[in-house]
Structure 1
Amino acid sequence: MPRGAALAAWAALLAALLAPGALARAGEADDVIRFHQARVARDPDDPSSYTRLGHAYVQKARESGDVTYYGLAEAAYRKALDAGARGPAASAALAALGAVAIAQHRFADAIAHAERALGAEPGDATAYAVLGDAHVEIGEYDKAAAAYARLAPLRGPRHPHARLAYLAFVRGEPDEALRAMRGAVAAARAAGAGREHRAWNATQLGALLFDTGALAAAADAYRDALAAFPGYHAAHAGLARVEAARGRPEAAIAGYRRALAVIPLPQYAAALGDCLARLGRADEARRQYELVEYIGRLGALNQVIHNRELALFYADHDVKPAEAVALARKELEVRRDIYTYDVLAWALLKAGRPAEALAAMQQALRLGTRDARLAFHAGMIHHALGDAPRAREHLARALAINPEFHVLHADRARRTLATLQGAAGRRAP
């Protein structure tokens, strides 16, 4: 599953909680933007036109992954409020501002916007969705569940299937997560949701299937996403991840290049570099690794939203350990979910501070999440501390969940586990 709920905020705002067909189908966002730009130019006092313009900007962000549309959407929603939006109209604009704030990693602001939205229109479903998403990101999972429970009576794509899937996954219930995510896919299809929204749901299902080790089913889900929305960057990257896990690095490289051609995200460049490194193409890998840093440092917003990805990249590749720790701690100031604790733990280990890493890792594992990456990191931390039994336990768990969870680290987990098992065998009477 995605490490965070920010994407889910967009899904709820644009498709799951609005009437099917109310927004642009895939590829039409530019036309809708122009249409509503013209409307606000003709009638600058109409709050609803500004809100719809903001929704169109967000749809464009969903299609392209371009973070600059967040700022444009935020400005449009604020214009709606300035134009005198009241009641449900004010609630819609405020909840949308909350969704934008999540994407910008301003989670406290997102909660404040959602609560204001509920003050303007008690019971507003989108506001509860945003409220839950923000609580997920700051690690307040019980509060998130309470917010999502307010959406449970809704039917079809308005039901919080994807959110409940994410909660189930982090709580160590992968079968329930799969059931909920399949419900999201089916609901979107039955409701005739937009092509991009159907692709988004299929991609989330693919990520969950990958994380549970079901590679063939994950590939099918990603192909379904690309059939719904050709060129969808997240589906290309997901399918590339499957190809890498299947030992097909050339196919994975082609897939990551397709994803990067749509939007240069640091995680795509890092994964492409890892595939190239696996093939011994060190110079090409190095260029991709340089791109990771360039993207992560490009612009003020990128320096906020990519802190965790950049910290993980540094720790994964044994470079800039002190900076990795600093970035992870900076992220933890605003985002106290289990995956930020995991990245902090991994960075601390690579900085030679395994005791501190263990304390952070215990926070990452507090929900019992069945995630191969978490288990691998925990195993390596225990190995560094000389706790061979716990190291073997966690490494074996990582490989049982998904034997090919990472193009480079899965092999390292196998080698380390074999060494530990061999040592245990030699000590046995």
Structure 2
Amino acid sequence: MDNRQYVGTSLVPEPPAPRRSRRVLRRVLVAALAGGVVTGAALAWPPGERRPHRPAPPPAAGPRAQPRAQALTTVTYAVPAALPGLTALIGREEQRVRAQPQDARAWAVLGSAYVARGRRAGDAADYPRAERALRSSLDVRGTGNTEALDGLTALALARRDFPTAKRYGEQALKAAPKRWSAYPPLIDAYDGLGDYTKARAALDKLMELRTGPAERPAVMARAAAVYRDRGWREDAVAQLTDAAAAARTPAEQAAWLAGLGQLAWERGDLPDALRHCEAALRLDPDQRAAAAGRARTLAALGRTAQALAAYRAAVAAQPDPAVLLELGELYESLGQPGAAEEQYARLRAAVRQSVAGGVDEELLIGRFEADHGDPWDAVERLQREWRRQPGIEVADALGWALHRAGEDQEALGYATAATDEAKGGGVRSAPYSFHRGVIEAELERYGPARRFLEEALRINPYFSPLAVPVAREALRTLGEPPAEEPPES
């Protein structure tokens, strides 16, 4: 479903002068969100326009034990592999293409392994290498080269380039429509473009295909992600639980356990989130999502010293900009603006490195600028991003940036797209509900404001160390609802 039909026609308005509203919640909300680190000056982000890109665990199965026919699937399509195994695979395929430069499949395996390692290690420097290898594969054998097309689809997804992922993914599917591995990346591409109808149709086709025991856990994990986006939490948990139980390697099992930890976090179940994240890290210490999940859960549990240590460990080797933003906001909530600004400086450096590898970081930059920098810069970036790939994440971020810039009426359309199931926003997200509640309050729609703020805290009472106190204070300011609230317009 295309969310653009729900947010009016003025997607890129001329920036008006900021409003000076003194409505009931403005002072509470702005002071609470802005109190801490305010950057003030323009930040040295990369340019907004992007250049086009030409329970016991099973035993480990190292890359030498895997047939080459399985290696491409392992490194490309949501079947996680361990970092050491990926590096060993890359070394062997580099030797192979040097010895046999006309081996199109070897080039495709090499490029896909670079993509997988880049995603696992959070190092975008692998992506240009991947692109060169995959294009070399196409140069050698273009017609029907599904391995290279699959790899280019995975590369585009790693770069958050959903239009390109859709193009390559559909080409690969057309060339070989019966391959299960063609569907998961296409589902991700459709989600990123806000086309949830196609994403669900692709999942239905994927679930109809016959897959072997090695591939089945990845299929269940993909189904879990779609169910989560529909708001079907129990179904998502059931699918991921089965995927973790059926996983064939520790790295794969760790990935699905980390996913279960994320689902537990999103519903505010801190003990379950911590249990799954720590189990994942025991299986695979390089599981970055589990490391970040453990850190944010420890912070929510009030184990602050442990949380800070866990965050610092998670961003020590290869900083993830999103995790650095979390850590900076945790420092802000603790009243340590200097430490927060240090993390934001690292975030800016990490974003520049990521963009140099071809990654679209406009969504993350927009989120950062909305709360910690220039809201109008966030609006302009996110409006461009919305025109290019209008997914739910962008709708939520753009709505919040417009609110922070004082444009609440326009912001409400995007916030509605992110939270209204009829408009695509079926996922139950505490931050999305919080954003909509604040915007509704600013528009003096106090009934909906109260409902969405309460929903945010009901979904996950710990969703943000900065925003949760704001939500609670906003509800106190709104007070109890009248005996009979007027119906929503």
Whether TM-score is above 0.5 comes out as yes
Aligned position for 1:309: 364
Q: For 2:99, which of 39, 42, 49 is the aligned residue? A: 42
Which stretch shows the higher mean deviation, 51-60 or 137-146? 51-60
Pairing partner for 1:14 from 41, 57, 74 = 74
Look up the SS of the partner of 1:49 in the other structure: helix
Q: Which residue identity is paired with 1:187?
A: A
- CA gap of 1:303–1:31, structure 2 versus 1, over 3 A, is closer
Distance 1:75 1:373 in 2: 39
Question: One-letter code of the match for 1:219?
Answer: L
Does 2:221 correspond to 1:162?
Answer: yes
TM-superposed deviation, 1:342: 0.2
Rate the CA distance shift 1:303–1:55 in 2: closer, same or farther, 3 A. closer
- 155-164 or 399-408, larger mean C-alpha shift: 155-164
> Quick one: which of 395, 403, 406 aligns to 2:453?
395
- Call closer, same or farther: CA 1:155–1:146 in 2, change over 3 Å: farther
Q: Distance in 1 between matches of 2:470 and 2:105?
A: 55
The answer to whether structure 1 residue 331 and structure 2 residue 385 are counterparts is yes
Corresponding residue for residue 75 of structure 1: 132
Find the aligned partners of 2:446 and 2:283 in 1 and give their Cα distance: 47
Q: Kindly state the Cα deviation for residue 147 of structure 1 after the two structures are TM-superposed.
A: 1.3
CA positional deviation for 1:26: 3.4
Does residue 204 (structure 1) correspond to residue 263 (structure 2)? The answer is no
**2:83/2:121 contact within 8 Å kept:** no
Whole-Å separation in 2 of the counterparts to 1:304 and 1:29: 21
Q: Tell me the amino acid that sits aligned with residue 137 of structure 2.
A: A
Q: Is the 8 A contact 1:207 1:218 kept in 2?
A: yes
> Residue 122 in 1 paired to residue 177 in 2?
yes
The one-letter amino acid of 1:28's match is G
User: How far, CA to CA, are the matches of 2:466 and 2:359 in structure 1?
Assistant: 27
Cα distance between partner residues in 2 of 1:329 and 1:297 = 21
Contact 2:74/2:81 (<8 A) preserved: no
Match of 1:177 among 236, 255, 265: 236
Shift of 1:259: 1.2
Alignment of 1:151 onto 2:206 = yes
Q: 1:196 to 1:182 in 2, by over 3 A?
A: same
Contact 1:196 1:229 (8 Å CA) reproduced: yes
Residue 110 (structure 2) pairs with residue 53 (structure 1): yes
Shift of 1:357: 0.6
Deviation digits for residues 33-70 of structure 1 (CA, Å, limit 9, x no counterpart): 11111111111111121122123212311331111212
2:299 maps to 1:244: yes
Q: How many angstroms does 1:300 deviate by? A: 3.7
1:352 and 2:406 matched: yes
Deviations 1:110-132 (A, max 9, x none): 22212222333232222222222
1:100 to 155, 159, 170: 155
Q: Which amino acid aligns with 2:237?
A: L
Cα displacement (A) at 1:421 = 1.8
- In the alignment, which residue of structure 2 is the partner of 1:3? none
Q: Find the counterpart in structure 1 of residue 341 from structure 2.
A: 286
Q: Match of 1:273?
A: 328
Q: Select between 358-367 and 27-36 the one with higher mean Cα deviation.
A: 27-36
218-227 or 329-338, which deviates more: 329-338
Q: Take 1:254 and 1:118, find their aligned partners in 2: how far apart are those partners? A: 45
Residues 340-397 of structure 1 deviation map (CA, whole Å, 9 limit, x = unaligned):
1000011000000110110111111132321111110111001111111111100111
Shift of 1:279: 2.1
User: Secondary structure of the residue that 2:89 maps to in structure 1?
Assistant: helix
Does the 8 Å CA contact 2:124/2:353 hold for their aligned counterparts? no
Give deviations 1:2-36, integer Å, cap 9, x for gaps: xxxxxxxxx99536859x8xx96432322221111
Higher relative CO (Cα under 8 Å, sequence separation at least 6) belongs to 2
Letter of the 2:391 counterpart:
D
Distance 1:135 1:409, change over 3 A: same
Offset of 1:296 from its aligned partner? 2.4
- For 1:157 and 1:386, locate their aligned partners in 2 and report how far apart those are by CA, in whole Å: 54
Moved more, 229-238 or 377-386: 229-238
Structure 1 counterpart of 2:90, which letter?
Answer: I
With over 3 angstroms needed to count, the CA separation of the structure-2 counterparts of 1:92 and 1:231, relative to structure 1, is: closer
Name 1:5's counterpart in structure 2: none
Question: Aligned Cα RMSD in Å?
Answer: 2.4
CA displacement, residues 303-322 of structure 1 (integer Å, 9 cap, x when unaligned):
852211121122233x2010
| Alignment partners' CA distance in 2, 1:288 and 1:402 | 25
Deviations 1:286-342 (A, max 9, x none): 11122223322346446852211121122233x201011112112212221111100
Q: Could you tell me how far apart the structure 1 residues matched to 2:396 and 2:130 are?
A: 32
Distance 1:226 1:180, change over 3 A: same
Aligned equivalents of 1:172 and 1:416: distance in 2? 26
Per the alignment, do residues 167 and 122 of structure 1 end up closer, same or farther by CA in structure 2, a change over 3 Å counting?
Answer: closer
Give the gaps of 5 or more residues in structure 1: 1-10
- For 1:4, the equivalent position in structure 2 comes to none
Deviations 1:141-175 (Å, cap 9, x if unpaired)?
11011112222133545242222212212212111
Rounded to whole Å, the distance in 2 between the matches of 1:106 and 1:16 is: 16
Local SS of the residue matching 2:268: coil
> Which structure shows the higher helix fraction?
1
Distance (whole Å) between structure 1 residues aligned to residue 245 and residue 143 of structure 2: 35
CA 1:339–1:25 in 2, change beyond 3 Å: closer, same or farther? closer
Name the CA shift for 1:37/1:167 in 2 (closer, same or farther; >3 Å). Answer: same
Matched-pair contact (CA < 8 Å) for 2:126–2:357? no
2:270 maps to which residue? 215
SS in 1 for 2:316: helix
Q: Which residue of 2 aligns with 1:408?
A: 466
Contact 1:346–1:357 (CA under 8 A) maintained in structure 2? yes
**Do residues 364 (structure 1) and 364 (structure 2) align?**
no
Q: Distance in 1 between matches of 2:430 and 2:340?
A: 24
Stretches of structure 2 lacking an aligned partner (at least 5 in a row)? 1-70
Q: Distance in 2 between matches of 1:151 and 1:184?
A: 15
